[in-house]
Structures are given as structure tokens and as C-alpha cells.
């Protein structure tokens, strides 16, 4: 039996909302929690003092609707996840450098409004203490390795990135530059370094992004480590405090992928190069999360392969890491044939939130990916999933 066999964790009690942070009788307790005061000194401050829930809860990639989201669900946004647009900002290695080499104050396409609108908007709108998750590419499009049925576009990419006679110098330069620019970006927004998680190369066990691992696991791991070492060197170059304050997220794809499946302990690059282990959570056309058998399949994974929700959580626990669900949703209307409406959205929501509550102390954050086909805000009259989301949020709140 592996050391990361799934088990159930029961939620704790108590807590405080962001409204207490902004004023009122709970202000001192909330301020202590946000300042990192030990639990004994902060009394009953377990849970998330920003969102007011048992765990950090928030929104993904809809920064223009943050305030509407908070009003609608009657709970502050306790964490926000925003993507870099790889179509507009990460086509070539020059784009991916992040800006002119050595001139770190000049932020390039990866950091621009065009390339990272939502994370920039959230950094401006949200209070400074609210954690941000920057969902960030690992490779530019031109280095792409995506492919189906074993037909990988660039299966030798990882070896070239760690070859001194190949692209190692470029790889290190790129990530050093990104790290240095992150410090500039955080300073420009007046944000503490430890409020940022870089969720790099999201869904890397899938087969649809340039950074898909593919068959060369032994080549991928040293390439990842080199990228993270270089990123941290860039952070350190600008501020010694930033090097390990900025957290590194490593996230696998969801279930029911037909190829490129590896057990998580085989593809994991190592504890020194990962701070948060994550997983995407999308119901999809065959999810059927409202049914007991469908939800069990999501928890257990597809035929015992890599990515059952419980398996990934248990692996994170075994490595002493928090578990991130920085991208999750249910489809609510026809818009993409690959993601038809959830057949039982209320039941699916109830199961998801039961999982969140049962494992609240281990969740680094969860962000509902809100767009036109997964809409929550002010949609409770038209979609049972939105109404159930509101009910589950109310059930998951801490007491002030």
C-alpha cells in the first residue's frame, strides 16, 4: 500500500470573515491571523480569515466581476487565480523571456495587460493581503510538445533544455528573467512576496498544452528543476526575501485522459521544487458527479491511474504539501460540445463542497472558473448549480 493512501480529514470549527478584517469586533483577531501570529496567540483563527470559509475560497479569471461575485455569494474573495494568455503572450522564446534581458523594470508580454489582464486587474482590485495565483506557462508555443495518441510534437524538448550544448543557457536565462520581473511586478502592485503562488505549466499531465510531459518523464523532471532553480535565482537577485516567499504550484490534469498517464509519484519533480500540489477539477460530459458512481469515479481516478482527486490529495499530504484546486467548475449551458450542461448540477456541487469541507485544513485554495459557459453570478434562478453553490457557501462559513 502506498504511503499516500487516501483518507478523510474532518473540518474544524470557528473562523472569521474579511468583513471582520475591515472593521468590527473581530478586527484584532483577523489582523493577528493575517500577520502570521501563531494559532495560540490568535485564539480561534483557524480556517481562512479572508474569505470567512473553512478554507481559502475565491474566483478564477473573471477579475472584472470580483466585486459582483463577493456581493452575490455574501463572502469575500479569499484567493484569486488568473492566467497568462498563451495565444497572445507566449508564442516565441523572445516573448517568453518576459522583457529585455537585464532590464527587469521593463515588463514584457507575459506581464502586460494583453498577456495577463486578469491577474493585473485582480492585483489592483483586491486588498493587498488576498493571495493571488498566477497560472503561468512553462514553455512558449514554439517549443510545443502537445499531442494525442502518442504523436508528440516535440518529444525531445526536455533533454535539449538541460543539455549544455543545447538550450540549457536559454532555459536558465528565461526563468531567471521571469523571476526578477516577478519581484518588480509585485513591488509595483505593493504586494508582499508571500501572497503570490506561481501555478506553472498547468495540467502538465494532459496532452493539449506545449508543456505536456509526454513520454520522457526522466527528461522532464530535471528540466522542471532547472526552471525553478533559475526562477528562484532571479527572485533572489532582486530580493533575498522573495526567493522562497513566492510559492511554486505544480498541477496535474483531471481524470479520463486517454494517454500520457503516469502515476503521480513517477512524474513528481521533488519536494524542493514544489510548494503546492494541485489538480484541475472539471466535470466534463462523462463526469456525472451528481451520481454516487460518477463522483466515486472522480475521487478514485480512471482505472487506478494517476489522477483521482483523493489520490492527488493523499499524495500531497504524504509530501507535506497543501493541495490546490485553483481551477474548477461545472458547465451550466450548451456552449462547447465537449462540455455539455451538467446533468445534476446541484448534486455535483453538494459533492464537491462535501470534499472541500472534509479536507478544509489541507486546501491551499479553490477558485471557481467563471465564464459564459460556467456562470454562477446572479444565475441561481436559471441554474440549480448556482443556487446550490450559494447554499453550500452558507454551510461552509466560519463564525466571526
- CATH assignment of the domain containing 374: 3.20.20.80
Residue 20 lies in a domain: no
pLDDT of residue 334: 66
**Could you tell me where the DSSP H helices lie in 341-382?**
345-358
Residue 215 lies in a domain: yes
* Separation of CA 243 from chain center: 20
pLDDT of residue 333: 74
pLDDT of residue 400: 46
Q: Which domain holds residue 185?
A: 49-395
Lowest mean pLDDT among 13-22, 59-68, 190-199, 288-297: 13-22
Cα–Cα nearest to 97, from 145, 37, 139:
139
pLDDT for 25 beyond 50: no
Distance, in Å, from the CA atom of 395 to the CA atom of 350, rounded to the nearest integer, reads 10
Lowest mean pLDDT among 11-20, 123-132, 186-195: 11-20
pLDDT interval class at 3 (50, 70, 90)? very low
Active-site residue 203, yes or no? Answer: yes
pLDDT for 153 beyond 90: yes
pLDDT for 14 beyond 60: no
pLDDT of residue 256: 53
pLDDT for 27 beyond 70: no
**What's the pLDDT tens digit per position in 320-371?**
999 999 999 998 876 677 778 899 999 999 999 999 999 999 999 999 999 8
Q: What is the mean pLDDT of residues 288-300?
A: 91
Q: Which residue reads 487565480 in cell numbers? A: 81
Lowest mean pLDDT among 14-23, 125-134, 249-258: 14-23
Cβ contacts of 276 within 8 Å, gap of 6 or more: 197, 199, 247, 248, 249, 250, 316, 321, 322, 323, 324, 364
pLDDT of residue 371: 84
> Element (H or E) spanning 179, and its range?
helix 168-188
Residue 9 lies in a domain: no
Cα–Cα nearest to 154, from 198, 199, 219, 110:
219
Task: Name residue 252's beta-bridge partners.
Answer: 279
**What's the pLDDT tens digit per position in 221-232?**
999 999 999 999
pLDDT interval class at 305 (50, 70, 90)? low
DSSP conformation class of 342 = P
Distance, in Å, from the CA atom of 159 to the CA atom of 203, rounded to the nearest integer, reads 20
DSSP conformation class of 387 = H
Q: How much of the chain exceeds pLDDT 90, in percent?
A: 71
Q: What is the mean pLDDT of residues 133-137?
A: 98
Residue 96 lies in a domain: yes
Query: Is the four-CA dihedral 267, 273, 279, 280 of positive or negative sign?
Result: negative
Residue 175 lies in a domain: yes
Phi/psi zone of residue 300: left (φ > 0), alpha (ψ -120 to 50 degrees), beta? alpha
pLDDT interval class at 397 (50, 70, 90)? very high
Which residue out of 70, 243, 298, 327 is catalytically annotated?
A: 327
Residue 33 lies in a domain: no
pLDDT for 43 beyond 50: no
Active-site residue 283, yes or no? Answer: no
pLDDT interval class at 254 (50, 70, 90)? confident
Which of 146-150, 241-245, 285-289 has maximum average pLDDT?
241-245
Distance, in Å, from the CA atom of 43 to the CA atom of 337, rounded to the nearest integer, reads 50
Residue 35 lies in a domain: no
Which residue out of 203, 243, 283, 366 is catalytically annotated?
A: 203
pLDDT of residue 264: 86
Question: Reduced to 3 states, what is the DSSP secondary structure of residue 50?
Answer: coil
Domain count of the fold of the chain: 1
pLDDT for 42 beyond 90: no
Residue 8 lies in a domain: no
Between 4 and 303, the higher pLDDT residue: 303
**Cβ–Cβ < 8 Å for 365, 55:** yes
Q: What is the mean pLDDT of residues 292-309?
A: 79
**Cβ–Cβ < 8 Å for 346, 387:** yes
pLDDT interval class at 302 (50, 70, 90)? low
Beta strand pairing status for 132-136 and 276-279? unpaired
Between 304 and 126, the higher pLDDT residue: 126
pLDDT interval class at 372 (50, 70, 90)? confident
Amino acid at each position: 500500500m502506498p504511503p499516500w493512501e487516501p483518507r478523510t480529514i474532518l473540518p474544524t470549527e470557528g473562523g472569521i470573515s474579511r468583513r471582520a478584517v475591515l472593521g468590527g469586533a473581530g478586527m484584532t483577531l483577523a489582523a493577528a491571523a493575517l500577520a502570521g501570529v501563531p494559532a495560540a496567540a490568535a485564539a480561534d483563527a483557524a480556517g481562512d480569515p479572508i474569505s470567512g470559509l473553512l478554507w481559502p475560497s475565491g474566483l478564477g479569471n473573471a477579475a472584472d466581476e470580483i466585486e459582483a461575485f463577493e456581493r452575490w455569494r455574501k463572502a469575500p474573495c479569499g484567493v484569486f487565480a488568473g492566467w497568462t494568455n498563451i495565444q497572445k503572450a507566449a508564442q516565441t522564446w523572445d516573448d517568453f523571456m518576459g522583457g529585455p534581458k537585464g532590464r527587469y523594470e521593463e515588463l514584457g508580454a507575459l506581464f502586460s495587460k494583453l498577456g495577463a489582464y486578469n491577474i493585473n486587474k485582480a492585483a489592483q482590485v483586491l486588498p493587498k493581503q488576498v493571495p493571488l495565483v498566477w497560472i503561468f506557462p512553462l514553455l512558449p508555443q514554439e517549443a510545443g510538445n502537445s499531442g494525442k495518441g502518442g504523436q508528440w510534437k516535440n518529444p525531445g524538448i526536455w533533454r535539449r533544455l538541460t543539455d549544455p550544448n543545447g538550450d540549457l543557457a536559454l532555459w536558465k536565462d528565461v526563468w531567471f528573467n521571469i523571476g526578477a520581473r516577478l519581484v518588480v511586478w509585485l513591488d509595483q502592485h505593493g504586494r508582499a512576496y508571500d501572497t503570490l503562488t506561481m501555478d506553472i505549466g498547468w495540467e502538465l499531465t494532459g496532452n493539449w498544452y506545449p508543456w505536456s510531459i509526454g513520454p520522457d518523464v526522466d527528461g522532464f523532471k530535471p528540466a522542471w528543476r532547472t526552471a525553478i532553480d533559475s526562477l528562484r535565482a532571479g527572485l533572489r537577485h532582486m530580493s533575498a526575501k522573495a526567493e522562497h516567499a513566492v510559492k511554486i504550484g505544480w498541477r496535474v490534469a483531471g481524470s479520463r485522459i486517454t494517454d500520457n498517464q503516469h502515476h503521480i509519484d513517477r512524474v513528481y519533480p521533488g519536494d524542493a521544487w514544489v510548494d503546492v500540489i494541485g489538480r484541475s477539477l472539471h466535470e466534463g460530459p462523462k463526469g456525472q458527479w451528481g451520481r454516487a458512481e460518477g463522483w466515486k469515479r472522480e475521487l478514485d481516478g480512471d482505472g487506478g491511474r494517476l489522477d483521482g482527486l483523493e489520490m492527488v490529495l493523499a499524495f500531497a499530504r504524504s509530501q507535506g504539501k497543501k493541495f490546490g484546486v485553483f481551477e474548477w467548475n461545472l458547465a451550466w449551458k450548451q456552449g462547447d460540445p465537449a462540455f455539455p450542461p451538467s446533468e445534476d448540477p446541484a448534486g455535483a456541487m453538494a459533492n464537491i463542497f462535501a470534499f472541500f469541507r472534509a479536507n478544509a485544513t489541507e486546501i491551499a485554495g479553490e477558485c471557481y472558473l467563471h465564464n459564459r459557459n460556467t456562470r454562477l453570478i446572479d444565475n441561481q434562478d436559471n441554474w440549480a448549480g448556482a443556487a446550490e453553490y450559494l447554499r453550500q457557501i452558507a454551510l461552509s462559513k466560519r463564525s466571526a
